[in-house]
Amino acid sequence: MSELKTLYGWMEKYKFKFIRSLFNTIAAIILTTIVPLVTSTVIDYVLKTDIYSENTVTKSQSTIISKIILSFDTSKDQLLAAGIFIIILTLLAARANYLKGKLSAQVAEGTAKSIKDKIYDHVQRLSFSYHNKVETGDLLQRCSTDIETIRQFTQVQILEIFYAVSVFIVVFVIMLMLNPFFALVGVILIPILIVYSYVFFQKVKKAYLIKDEAEATLSTSLQETLTGVRVVKAYANQEYEIKKFAEKNANFKAAHFKEVMVSAKFWATSDFICISQVLLVVLFGSFLSYKGSITLGMFQTFLSYEFMMIWPVRQLGRVITEAGRTIISIRRILEVFDETQEFELKDESLKQKPKILGNISFKNVSIEYSDEEPVLRNISFEVKKGQTVAIIGKTGSGKTSLMNALLRLIEYKEGSITIDGTELNTIDKTWLRSHIGVVMQEIFLYSKSIKDNIRIANRTVSDEIVYDVAKIASVHDVILDFEEGYDTSVGERGVTLSGGQKQRIGIARALINKHPILIFDDSLSAVDTETDLKIRAALTERAKEITTFIIAHRMSTVKDADLIIVLDEGKILQIGTHEELFNVDGLYRNFWDIQNKKEEDFINLITVGKEENIDGK
């Protein structure tokens, strides 16, 4: 019931339309149940079947419907009245069914849209750690297939449940009024069908959960393969991916087949129960009719009511199947909603919006992911506004985690981080991130034009500003060489661009706003040394008042930094300027020796060549 209450809460905006659809359902049922009474009157009196006693016929006519029809004088008029009555009832019932379907569709579509909007909004605000642990395919499954299951249940199955229960009550009451004993015979097997449906409901829930999880795994595999198709082709890994997909597909098939088998057993058994119930009505009604206890019209009425009642009740099995699936889907969506948003803070003291200039201090900061080993241990350093800080270290040493802590993508529990004297974990996250420009290690580009991708951070800037930041990122001339220039579509995830071009567009995107703090997370790794030099020179000219963090492996990129931090296994191993670190034995000196100064010699050669050209001019 808690899941259904949750669903009703999601339908809150459309509850009046939903109630109207229920009223139209009841109206359609009442109108439909009157038709057999009209038919019974025609058979028993208008057609004047004479195999019954006058007393029996009179009993069958003691309804308001029969009195209205028989108020006409001639049989012809009575038949005409009955026909018109049936036509009017049928048209009104059709109108009620139309309104029921229209209203339920509006409720279902509106509810589905509302859930999608809410879950998308919620997912956007979830923490970095959540997105690290969740599988994309599984999340897509919850946001698409599970919501579609809820939509179908809201539009169809809820009304079918209401219809089945309502038609049973209405028809059974009418049957009791006509012949109590025969009415009891007409429902004798229905309790067995209901109990069996409940047992089936418990089984189908488990089967559907297994199938849904198998489908989510399959979706994840498909999404990963399609996203990484270039890697698959580059390593000629098609056969392995085909085999891996076939295994997951086989698991999904088996889970789906098990669910189908559970349903098949129910349908076979429920059909047998329903047919047996109808057979009981036919046999018992024939016996009563033969004895003269009921009229032929009443027998026909009971048979019509039996079909009207038994098949909706039988359909409860299918509805219960969908209900089981819907409950699982609601639970899976609630699991997402139960995840705490990273912006959910009621304490206003933790939503400060101080002026951010770029003075940053780390004091004895330690950070860990969940219950794992700390990724950063006792980190301490200070950065003044306008300084450039380079961070180097082996893979997995904690470089990116250090910047994630500054962005509050991960939280620190030990130590202190301050920006311009304000404790970092008391600053509003949206405010904080709006003052930090980031060029990620992996540049993600949308399937839009180059201009639109650069403008992602600020869609209102002029074309001139877009061109300026592209020049700083040393990508302006490259873009102009494209046939459509800045209007060139980059394709899905920037597939039409090289790695270096994507990185430079990412740099331009980060520079579109004048942030007091910039972070470059190994974002120059895919550009050549000469382009690296150009970009850094342009950034130095622009970023005199900007605090800049550069994560890099290329020593020439970091050597001119005001402060160089060398990380190893989450700890600061060395800290200082290039001259200070170069003149002592340590990891920094080892990195420099490995690169063997070739890069520096090449840069000097380029610089000397440029100076000679300038002098020559």
Which among 443, 581, 452 is positioned nearest to 520, based on CA atoms?
A: 443
Rg over alpha carbons for the chain, rounded to the nearest Å, is 37
Q: Which residues contact 173 (CB under 8 A, 6 or more apart)?
A: none
pLDDT for position 52: 45
- Average pLDDT for 234-247: 78
Q: What is the spatial distance between Cα 8 and Cα 418, in angstroms, rounded to a whole number?
A: 46
Is pLDDT of 53 > 50? Answer: no
Is pLDDT of 5 > 90? Answer: no
Give the residue ranges of DSSP H helices in 292-410.
296-337, 399-406
Give the tokens for residue 202. 């418990």
- Residue 441 dihedral angles phi and psi, to the nearest 5°: -65, -40
pLDDT for position 617: 46
Decide which of 3.40.50.300, 3.40.228.10, 3.40.50.720, 3.30.300.350 is the CATH code for 442-514: 3.40.50.300
Question: Vertex 611, ends 610 and 612: CA angle to 5°?
Answer: 90
Specify the range with the lowest mean pLDDT, choosing from 165-179, 183-197, 519-533.
519-533
Question: Does 26 or 490 have the greater pLDDT score?
Answer: 26
- Average pLDDT for 83-97: 91
pLDDT for position 347: 55
Question: Does 211 or 48 have the greater pLDDT score?
Answer: 211
Q: Pick from 8-17, 65-74, 257-266 the range whose average pLDDT is largest.
A: 8-17
Model confidence at 384, in pLDDT bands (50, 70, 90)? very high
Give long-range contacts, CB 8 A cutoff, 24+ apart: 431-436.
431/351, 431/352, 431/353, 432/356, 432/407, 432/408, 433/407, 433/408, 435/356, 435/515, 435/516, 435/517, 436/406, 436/407, 436/515, 436/517, 436/518, 436/519
Q: Pick from 132-141, 193-202, 315-324, 464-473 the range whose average pLDDT is largest.
A: 464-473
Q: What is the overall mean pLDDT for the chain?
A: 81
518-to-409, 552, 570 alpha-carbon distances in Å = 16, 14, 22
User: Mind listing the pLDDT tens digit for each residue in 157-177?
Assistant: 888 888 888 888 888 888 888
pLDDT for position 269: 82
Helices and strands counted in the chain (H then E): 25, 10
Q: What is the spatial distance between Cα 392 and Cα 404, in angstroms, rounded to a whole number?
A: 15
Is pLDDT of 392 > 70? Answer: yes
Model confidence at 362, in pLDDT bands (50, 70, 90)? very high
- Percent of residues, the chain, with pLDDT higher than 90: 10
- Average pLDDT for 228-232: 69
Enumerate the β-bridge partners of residue 365.
Answer: 379
Residue 424, burial from CB neighbour count under 10 angstroms (0-12, 13-18, 19+)? buried
Q: What is the pTM of this model?
A: 0.66
pLDDT for position 495: 65
Class of the domain covering 2-337: mainly alpha
Which among 422, 430, 438, 433 is positioned nearest to 344, based on CA atoms?
A: 430
429-to-123, 127, 345 alpha-carbon distances in Å = 16, 11, 10
Is pLDDT of 560 > 50? Answer: yes
Torsion-angle region of 294 (φ positive above 0: left; ψ -120 to 50: alpha; else: beta): beta
Which among 95, 118, 99, 96 is positioned nearest to 11, based on CA atoms?
A: 118
pLDDT for position 139: 84
Is pLDDT of 234 > 80? Answer: no
Spell out the domain ranges in the chain: 2-337, 360-435+515-616, 442-514
Which among 469, 447, 474, 444 is positioned nearest to 458, based on CA atoms?
A: 469
Model confidence at 93, in pLDDT bands (50, 70, 90)? very high
Q: Pick from 110-124, 195-209, 491-505 the range whose average pLDDT is largest.
A: 110-124
- Average pLDDT for 354-367: 91
Question: Does 508 or 524 have the greater pLDDT score?
Answer: 508
Give the tokens for residue 345. 């803070």
Sequence length of the chain is: 617
Strands of 422-423's sheet, edge to edge?
374-383, 360-368, 414-419, 422-423
Q: Which residues contact 107 (CB under 8 A, 6 or more apart)?
A: 11, 14, 17, 18, 21, 154, 155
pLDDT for position 59: 43
User: Mind listing the pLDDT tens digit for each residue in 400-454?
Assistant: 888 888 988 888 888 999 999 899 988 888 888 888 888 877 777 877 888 888 8
User: Mind listing the pLDDT tens digit for each residue in 473-483?
Assistant: 888 888 888 88
Q: Do 360-435+515-616 and 442-514 show the same overall fold?
A: yes
pLDDT for position 534: 76
Is pLDDT of 318 > 80? Answer: no
pLDDT for position 98: 94
Concatenated DSSP letters for 79-132? Answer: HHHHHHHHHHHHHHHHHHHHHHHHHHHHHHHHHHHHHHHHHHHHHHTB-HHHHH
Measured over the CA atoms of residue 451, residue 457, residue 458 and residue 461, the dihedral's sign is negative
Instruction: DSSP letter for 579, please.
Output: H
Specify the fold of 360-435+515-616. Answer: Rossmann fold (3.40.50)
Measured over the CA atoms of residue 102, residue 105, residue 109 and residue 111, the dihedral's sign is positive
